[in-house]
Structure 1
Amino acid sequence: MIDRNAAVLTIDLAAVAQNYRQLADRIGGAQCGAAVKANAYGLGAAEVAPVLRAAGCRHFFVATLDEGLSLRRILGSGPQIFLLNGLPAGGAPDIIGADLVPVLDSPPEIEAWQQFGRKGDIPRPAAIQIDTGMSRLGLTAREWQRLIADGDSLRRFPLALVIGHLACSDEPASPHNHQQLALFRRHLEIARDALPAGTPISFANSSGIFLGSDYHFDLARPGAALYGLNPMLGQPNPMRQVLRLQGKILQVRDVDAGTPVGYGATHTCAHPTRIATIGCGYADGVFRALSNQGAVHLGDHRAPIVGRVSMDLLSIDVGEIPAALVQPGALVDIIGPRQSADDLARAAGTIGYEILTALSARYERRYLPAG
């Protein structure tokens, strides 16, 4: 049964496909994969991944084994599915059974895959990640050098991919980008004789694609840009917007000057006005940090959020908005034509990634077809 008061999340699958094709065109001769981890950044992997496959994607990236198993059921055989978070303990049989590709992030994971990464007598492919400045997952410079020194260690299983990851690619002027690229190239150069011929290389994420062809290598793996987030800080967003989030007005009331609004009475109305209550709150991914500083839109009209955002509700001041637009059941844009996910994130002091991955299961989801 549909909750008639639920917020409405509309996802434009044609926009996702168009964004993928735009990114694929930008990298020219390299291949374009897609990061669909975290349920396709909150938009729904079951709906998004087949659209990306139809648009030409053959390489998908998820974080965990559970995500990989789910994605294999969605896509069926064919596309490569990489597990970015490495080889989980005891996970090799499931990985092999589902024909997934683990991204090995440490010497112990490499050793474990060499031992278990077989299906019958056939070694199964894996990828290796090199850390070039994130200090997260991936082999350190010393670990990479020891691996290379170990003779044929890089030939004991099919090496599907060697990857690195950029830390500051959304800031084109950051010196870290060039430093990481130079270090990654040095790591590849010292392994030139140890790497099997033709081993694919991947370095660029969404923002990395826009740093230029030096960063593209053989395979890019965009994520956020596919879903409409801006890959370049401080510059116009080249991507098509993918989603619209609309909350519903539950109640409208006239209030006098001096009337407090919400928990903690953190907002007091300075003059007589009208307050509308929206059926959406921090349990739905509308962050509490938006209290008293975020806004929504009714058509072209901006309505500030007043008082604290609560678990299931938020309040907006609609005193300056035509009454015909402010009725119970009317939809207000939390994310929409006048306010992108990136805009909302800035108001909340966060990033668009967090806005998308916090999208609630309580929303009424509507998917616009890809074609």
Structure 2
Amino acid sequence: MLSLAEPADVVFEIDLKAIQANFRTISALVGPHVKVAAVVKSDAYGLGMVEIARALANAGCDLFFVANLHEALLLRSSRINAAIAVFCDEFARFGQFYRSENLIPLVNNGSEMDAIRATGEPQTYFLNVETGFSRLGLTFDDVRRFYLSGVFGQHPPAVMLSHLACSDCAADATNVLQKNRFRAIYDLLKPTLGSLAASAGVWLDKSYHFNMVRVGSALYGLNNAGIQPNPLQPVVRLRAKVLDIRTVARREAVGYGATFRTARNSRIATAAIGYKHGLPWSCANKISVRLGGYTAPVIGRISMEYIAIDVTDIPETVCGIGAFAEILGEDFAVDELAAAAGANPQEVLTRLGAGCTRQHLNASSPSAPSVGKAPDAGDSHSPFALAV
């Protein structure tokens, strides 16, 4: 009888120490006067929201952004001592959950601003403003209308934020346009904190940092801005077990559609990973794997649960049934896999995390953070005093 304790055929390792190191790298880059908030939405891009949030809290992070109320309640139940902000969910409908669980809503439109006003009691909230992304956020006309009505005087936002459309291209004029629009609203409302830059925006000049940045992709090792040398540590390692090795004669087809035919008598290994696990179908005949220090090409189409590897030139002593082929690691990262597949790195990472067995490598023990401690619920000077 098969034991459930036996190792999985596909292993997706997440290095929590590397995530902590990337958090510290970003913190050092922006400086001690800029808060670094962690974006752990969509199950931390597929890598495990609770485990990653715990590691980041130990590294000094005290504010987390999640996608919706479901994620917020799950993270709150994990007893992480930090503020939790919800990118998008109905405050007007679920206000009781926000208040009872000390969660921070993002106000994305006028009706949500009306719901904040209607609470009749203090409510910590973040204000999302539209500056040129055309996805959620109050327009300038909305802001002006609420400003003239006195709402922001009665219910000031703790944080004002927006999202850059072209931050991965530093020379794009859209960045300056959005920054100027954001600055105009920021100077009008004077929130406690302003946040315009996310991961790629961190690498723009300091005028984009204001006093808070929101970092997701960079924490997980994705170098969206293409900074060289890459200052971020790789976070994930993906390996798949070799299930079969056979000799295939010259000119024989390998895989669906016969997109690859052997040019010689070849040894072909079948490994237990496919597009079911999130490996992009479009990377067929474009990537290689590592086996015992050797490189071998993936050949033929990616199947639902298998890939074929040409191991003809790899010594049989390091490539046998039961060996593990490394698809992602220090030599080949998510960014490179996504480029080979013509895909978005965040999409690739999220799909791999959802489709593979995840293993979280140990995080370092808690240490004194260099960029601030978790907010004290009794500290009236904290913008999150009501939401921790």
Q: Report the TM-score, using the length of structure 1 for normalisation.
A: 0.92
Partner of 1:8: 11
The aligned runs of 1:222-237 (5 Å cut-off) are: 222-233=215-226, 235-237=228-230
Please say if 1:333 is aligned against 2:338: no
1:131 is matched with which residue?
Answer: 130
CA contact (8 A) 1:102 1:126 kept: yes
Pick aligned residue for 2:69 from 61, 65, 68 = 65
After superposition, where does 1:291-306 map in structure 2 within 5 Å? 291-306=284-299
1:170 is aligned to 168
CA separation in 2, counterparts of 1:223 and 1:256?
48
What percentage of residue pairs aligned between the two structures are identical? 38
CA contact (8 A) 1:2 1:364 kept: no
Q: Answer whether contact 1:281 1:310 (CA < 8 A) is retained.
A: yes
Tell me, what secondary structure is at the counterpart of 1:239? coil
- Residue by residue over 1:51-90, the C-alpha shift from the partner in whole angstroms, topping out at 9 and shown as x without a partner, is 11111111111111111111111244x4211111243662
For residue 161 of structure 1, what is the aligned residue in structure 2?
Answer: 159
Q: Which of 234, 248, 254 is equivalent to 2:247?
A: 254
Tell me how far 1:213 sits from its aligned partner.
Answer: 1.3
Q: Which amino acid aligns with 1:304?
A: P
User: Which runs of no fewer than 5 residues in structure 1 stay unpaired?
Assistant: none
Shift of the 256–48 alpha-carbon distance from structure 1 to 2, 3 Å rule, reads same
Give the distance between the partners of 2:300 and 2:56, measured in 1 at CA. 41
CA distance in 1, matches of 2:228, 2:174: 19
Query: Which of the residues 231, 242, 251 maps onto 1:238?
Result: 231
2:143 matched to which residue of 1? 144
Report if aligned partners of 2:45, 2:353 keep a CA contact under 8 Å in 1.
Answer: no
Contact residue 60 and residue 79 of structure 1 kept, 8 A = yes
State whether residues 50 and 75 of structure 1, in contact with CA within 8 Å, keep that contact through their aligned partners in structure 2.
no
Query: Residue 46 of structure 1 corresponds to which residue in structure 2?
Result: 50
Relative to structure 1, the CA distance from residue 86 to residue 132 in structure 2 (aligned partners, 3 Å threshold; closer, same or farther) is farther
Any conservation in 1 of the 2:9–2:272 contact (CA below 8 Å)?
A: yes
SS at match of 1:359: helix
User: 2:194: which partner in 1?
Assistant: 201
User: In the alignment, residue 147 of structure 2 is paired with which amino acid?
Assistant: I
1:239-318 equivalent positions in 2, closer than 5 A: 239-318=232-311
- CA distance in structure 1 between the aligned counterparts of 2:105 and 2:21, rounded to whole angstroms: 29
Q: 1:86 & 1:180 partners in 2: Cα distance? A: 25
Tell me by how many angstroms 1:19 deviates. Answer: 0.9
Structure 1 contact 123–157 (Cα < 8 Å) conserved: yes
State which drifts further: 264-273 or 45-54: 264-273
1:22 aligns with 2:25: yes
CA contact (8 A) 2:160 2:191 kept: no
Match of 1:108 in 2: 111
Counterpart residue identity of residue 35, structure 2: Q
Structure 2: gaps (5+ residues): 365-388
Which TM-score applies when normalising by structure 2?
0.88
Q: Work out which of the residue numbers 332, 349, 356 in structure 2 matches 1:356.
A: 349
SS of structure 2 residue aligned to 1:358: helix
**Relative contact order, CA 8 A, sep 6+: which one is greater?**
2
Aligned to 1:213: 206
- 2:90 aligned partner: 87
Q: 3-state DSSP class of the match of 1:128?
A: strand
Contact between 2:91 and 2:105, CA under 8 Å: does it hold in 1?
Answer: no
* SS of equivalent residue, structure 2 residue 142: helix
What secondary structure, in the 3-state scheme, does the structure 1 residue paired with 2:352 have?
A: coil
**Letter paired with 1:170:** D
- For residues 105 and 229 of structure 1, the distance between their equivalents in structure 2, rounded to whole angstroms, comes to 27
RMSD: 1.8
Task: Determine the C-alpha separation between the residues in 1 that align with 2:354 and 2:182.
Answer: 40
Does the 8 A contact of 2:92 with 2:115 survive in 1? no
The CA deviation at 1:302 is: 2.4
Which residue of 1 is the match for residue 40 of structure 2?
36
Partners in 2 of 1:300 and 1:172 — Cα distance? 37
Alpha-carbon distance in structure 2 between the residues aligned to 1:86 and 1:218: 25
Distance of 1:256 and 1:5 partners within structure 2? 31
User: What is the SS of the residue equivalent to 1:33?
Assistant: strand
Report if the CA contact (8 A) 2:159-2:191 is conserved.
no
Contact 1:11 1:242 in 2 (8 A): yes
Distance 1:350 1:180 in 2: 26
Change (3 A) 1:286 1:252: same
> What is the one-letter code of the residue matched to 1:139?
L
* Structure 1 SS opposite 2:241: strand
Distance 2:191 2:301 in 1: 56
Alpha-carbon offset, residue 269 of structure 1? 1.6
Shift of 1:231: 3.8
Quick one: which amino acid aligns to residue 27 of structure 1?
Answer: V
Quote how far apart the aligned CAs of 1:144 are: 2.1
Post-superposition CA distance 1:9-52 (Å, at most 9, x none): 11111111111111111111111110011111111112110111
Find the aligned partners of 1:72 and 1:256 in 2 and give their Cα distance.
58
**Closer/same/farther in 2, CA of residues 361 and 202 from structure 1, 3 Å limit:** closer
Q: Could you tell me how far apart the structure 2 residues matched to 1:63 and 1:311 are?
A: 29
SS of the residue corresponding to residue 91 of structure 1 reads helix
